[in-house]
Structure 1
């Protein structure tokens, strides 16, 4: 799945779980591919959502995103795109895996529905820490390569070992 960047994500910033995840992604979005829009206020108005016929209730039911070309994404596909945009290809692949996707598509609406109670269990802190850790690992791996050449630690050639 690909999108025309930037990807504008409409999310519930009043939800600690949502906020933690989205802010962790933004913090690691070194290519500035993601934009966040807090759609949580009851008075939320946006010309793009209005033109697409997407109301506030729909925005609060499932996460939505719009790319530069005006294509809309919602639910799990937003996570797949957002994690990929933030350089977390491994996690993006898990969201988009053909065998797991039916599970995510069924599970995510439940998580979205109960996101506030789940946040009260402090799952937001755990999930945010996991996202930050994965992002830091991805950046370290990406930083190991410069100008298309990756530094590989030298290992001594195999040979006969001599006892000391």
Structure 2
């Protein structure tokens, strides 16, 4: 199973998570695509950039799309660490977790600033993609 992650490369917290995923992606089940890359619209004209910018998206090799915490869960599961996010997918917890994620996604730059002192990465780049 292969999952392509579409993430915000200008978000410091998003960058940190992608860096951790890259470290654990030894079996190469994940690919990483920065939606802030200037060439993104040319490479992926079939994707809705606004939707991708509103929340993380992933596309499986069979074309299925997952978003938000479902995407995050699958990414971590594919690197052998799904247990970290599994509780957020439990039925009762899921509703609250998804609402919290939507708030985070909408305010990710401000939250990044509070947590890291950096609102946006000047042009973060992931290594070993």
Compute the TM-score of the two structures, normalised by the length of structure 1. 0.65
Q: Distance in 2 between matches of 1:26 and 1:102?
A: 28
- Deviating beyond 2 angstroms after TM superposition, the runs of 4 or more aligned structure 1 residues are 41-44, 46-49
- Root-mean-square deviation (CA, aligned residues, Å) is 2.0
Match of 2:36 in 1: 40
Kindly tell me the number of residue pairs found equivalent between the two proteins: 117
Instruction: Please say which structure displays the higher CA radius of gyration.
Output: 1
Unaligned runs of 5+ in 1: 125-164
With a CA cutoff of 8 Å and minimum separation of 6, indicate the structure with the bigger relative contact order.
2
| Contact 2:29–2:78 (Cα < 8 Å) also in 1 | yes
Q: How big is the shift at 1:48?
A: 5.2
Deviations along 1:20-65, one digit per CA (max 9) or x if unpaired, are 0111112112221111100024662265561xxx311111001111
- Match among 3, 12, 18 for residue 22 of structure 1: 18
Q: Give the 5 Å matches for 1:84-95.
A: 84-95=77-88
**DSSP 3-state at the match of 2:85:** helix
CA–CA distance in 2 between the matches of 1:24 and 1:110? 22
Query: Per the alignment, in what secondary structure is the counterpart of residue 20 of structure 1?
Result: helix
Report the TM-score when normalising by structure 2.
Answer: 0.81
